[in-house]
Amino acid sequence: MAAVSVDQKRALLSVTDKSRLVEMGRALIGHGYQLIASGGTSAMLKENDVPVTGVGELTGYPEIFGGRVKTLHPIVHGGILGPSREAFEETLEMGIGPIDIVVVNLYQFTEAVAAGADEAATVEKIDIGGPTLLRAAAKNFKRVTVVSDPAYYDELLTELESGTGETGLEFRRRMAAATFRLAERYNNAIATWFEDVTESRPGLELRYGENPHQGASLVLPPAQGGEPALSAIGVTQHGGKELSYNNIVDLIAGVKLIGDFDDPCCAVLKHTNPCGFGLGTGVEGLERALKCDPVSAFGGVFAFNAEVDLATAEILAKRFLEIIVAPSYTDEALARLTKKKNVRVLTVNVADFLAKTSGRSRSWGQLELRQDEDTGFPELAEWKLAAGPEPDAATRTALEMVWKVCKHGKSNGIVLGDLTATLGLGFGQMSRVDSTELAVLKAGNQDLDLKGCVAASDGFFPFPDGVEKLAEAGARAIIAPGGSIRDDEVAARAGELGVTLILTGRRHFNH
């Protein structure tokens, strides 16, 4: 075994992607680091006259099982996981000294799968030592620098230059986060491959994906019994067909909408867009939700944030719909609704569901986008009157309602409403004027009077034309985030039309 010292700075290198390896090795030596490397990494450095100690020389053990075991040794992992340089005083006699930088990248598993490698070759590309080294180094970020991708080499070199051979804590912390994300993606790729090979899927098998020819599954945390189940996210299914991918997406959209209201309410959604919303318990809330667009409600999702009674269930039972979700049902209501064999009747613990579905992500193969949940409406306490009369209490209540509903439709979004319900909704159009015209059209189709209504827009008005169309339709107050270079022009036009214009300074886009 090679001699070790508490004072000697050391870097461990074990890379599959050997681009810039020699450059990195020489730079580390220039900053006073002794190099340790495994297998092919060590060989390449030696071929280029870069001084390096092989892992086998360090541990006193050769690689075994064709290279499957080489870095999995206490001398290596002790050197990475030791909490401080002082702590190594008691391990030097065992040959364990500090390792300060870990530069590792993983076997190219996804590339092997993409190239159509057979099972044996693919299994050999499942890296064990690499992820273990990376996770150990990332865990010990307060002392150890971990670099998991050549893309970070320039940043590492800059840190070493500016820090006279040392790295900063924030850099180490950031590299640790990147390493754990890499490990997550790597493990997901391996799990997906195994699922494809065994034709198994995690969690619950769904009826189908967005279309019948697409398979889909729902990944859930384990319930009390250990098996993934809807109860793990606060949902119980009482009857109806199995859930499909679209059902789950609509369910999430519906519960998030009703979760934004403390007062009893009912929301009707179609393809995640609200097509009706009403305040009130039972029949009252349902009828208000249905009045502005009963046609689009056909085959929709009906979400309640208060108990559903028999009278409400009788109305629902006469309609064609996909999902009914509520915190609870009376015994009579549940018995009535579960007679409809195709309707999915769900109970939801709203608070539990919202907590466990907080945050949003979308994925396309290996690319995943994540964002925080869009929660709360602090802007409603600080909005700015940009034009027109100050809204009275009733108008404020109506504006708050349409503003909250507007958050839950696809951009561009326009919502028209009164004190208790929506009157017209326009979502997902390519321009805000198109969404405005659609919302007015929906109200007109039901002969709803828009005179004196209020309106919400999920984005700013780039020109006065949207405000003009809303005023022409009968809107007396409009709430929007503002932010256009023409806000003053839009506000001036609203003032000329005698329309109250509220700007919140905060938007709720939903793409």
What pLDDT digit, counting tens, does each position of 17-63 carry? Answer: 999 999 999 999 999 999 999 989 999 999 999 999 998 888 887 87
How does DSSP classify residue 107?
A: -
Rounded alpha-carbon distances, angstroms, from residue 30 to 14, 35, 378: 19, 11, 54
% residues pLDDT > 70 (the chain): 97
30-37 CB contacts, 8 Å cutoff, 24+ apart? 31/160, 31/165, 32/165, 33/9, 33/100, 33/101, 33/165, 34/8, 34/9, 34/10, 35/10, 35/11, 36/10, 36/11, 36/12, 36/76, 36/99, 37/12, 37/13
Among 213-222, 376-385, 464-473, the least confident range = 213-222
CA–CA distance, 500 with 502 (Å, rounded to integer): 7
How does DSSP classify residue 410?
A: P
User: Do 162 and 47 share a structural domain?
Assistant: yes
User: Do 179 and 31 share a structural domain?
Assistant: yes
Q: Which pTM was predicted?
A: 0.70
Residue 51 located in a structural domain: yes
Spatial strand order of the sheet with 265-270 comes to 235-239, 344-348, 321-326, 300-304, 265-270, 273-279
Residue 208 located in a structural domain: no
Residue 441 located in a structural domain: yes
User: Do 388 and 343 share a structural domain?
Assistant: no
Q: Assess contact for 305 and 259: CB atoms under 8 A.
A: yes
Residue 444 — pLDDT band, cuts 50, 70, 90?
Answer: very high
User: Do 451 and 330 share a structural domain?
Assistant: no
Rounded alpha-carbon distances, angstroms, from residue 340 to 231, 319, 344: 22, 10, 9
Residue 366 — pLDDT band, cuts 50, 70, 90?
Answer: low
Residue 69 — pLDDT band, cuts 50, 70, 90?
Answer: confident
CA–CA distance, 479 with 403 (Å, rounded to integer): 7
How does DSSP classify residue 260?
A: T
Residue 219 located in a structural domain: no
pLDDT at residue 283, rounded to an integer: 97
pLDDT at residue 505, rounded to an integer: 96
User: Do 161 and 13 share a structural domain?
Assistant: yes
Length of the chain: 511
User: Do 250 and 139 share a structural domain?
Assistant: no
Q: Show the beta-strand stretches assigned E in 252-352.
A: 265-270, 273-279, 300-304, 321-326, 344-348
User: Do 430 and 357 share a structural domain?
Assistant: no
Rounded alpha-carbon distances, angstroms, from residue 33 to 25, 143, 175: 9, 15, 19
Tokens 């039901």 found at: 446
Residue 318 located in a structural domain: yes
User: Do 387 and 341 share a structural domain?
Assistant: no
The predicted model gives 231-235 an average pLDDT of 86
Last residue of a domain, one of 196, 216, 246: 196
Domain that holds residue 483: 378-503
Last residue of a domain, one of 166, 196, 226: 196
Q: Assess contact for 348 and 327: CB atoms under 8 A.
A: yes
Residue 228 located in a structural domain: no
Number of domains in the chain: 3
What average pLDDT is seen over the chain?
A: 92
Contact partners, residue 240, CB within 8 Å, separation at least 6 = 323, 338, 340, 341, 342, 343, 344, 345
Q: What amino acid occupies position 192?
A: T
Domain of 254: which CATH number? 3.40.140.20
CA–CA distance, 247 with 344 (Å, rounded to integer): 9
Residue 324 located in a structural domain: yes
Residues identified as active-site:
139, 271
pLDDT at residue 114, rounded to an integer: 87
User: Do 416 and 317 share a structural domain?
Assistant: no
Q: What amino acid occupies position 206?
A: L
Q: What amino acid occupies position 115?
A: A
Last residue of a domain, one of 361, 393, 410: 361
Q: Assess contact for 355 and 479: CB atoms under 8 A.
A: no
Residue 463 — pLDDT band, cuts 50, 70, 90?
Answer: very high
Cα angle value 29/34/37 (rounded, 5°): 105
Domain of 81: which CATH number? 3.40.50.1380
Q: Tell me: the pLDDT tens digits for 313-347? A: 999 999 999 999 999 999 999 999 999 989 999 99
Residue 205 located in a structural domain: no
Greater pLDDT, 419 or 217 = 419
User: Do 499 and 429 share a structural domain?
Assistant: yes
User: Do 466 and 408 share a structural domain?
Assistant: yes
User: Do 156 and 186 share a structural domain?
Assistant: yes
